[in-house]
Structure 1
């Protein structure tokens, strides 16, 4: 008889903030790189992101033309992070 291995899967709720670069596909490759670098700089410079990162309470995922930020601890964290981001124009 085969031995059954049961793994406990721990489920967590995460609150997600997606940030997209509008018009990304219309930019040249150099402009795309610059836009992503600027977006990363702005997000990393936000007080909420820095606080969450220091507490290991955020996961940052690149989406190609933007970012997904996952905050497992607080539903307010992505709201605060989003509300502190400027609108960029290139």
Structure 2
């Protein structure tokens, strides 16, 4: 039996390869576990689901990646709470 969730995760990971400083990402929400993982700041109450934000800095780690957003200096967020903006113009 094929575990489709594994393929969805791999596909999502492939999409993050296109994200870099200056990229626009859409906030998709966060769970308690996603916030706690790696000591990230809690985006709930700061960010709005579905809204677009600009990445200022990407901090990759072995098991997770942190995004620093231009709109929230000094705050670090778990990258799993975002998807690359897919409208093609990245504006």
Q: Same fold (TM over 0.5)?
A: no
Structure number with the higher strand fraction is 2
Q: TM-score, normalised by structure 2?
A: 0.27
More helix by share: 1
Larger radius of gyration: 1
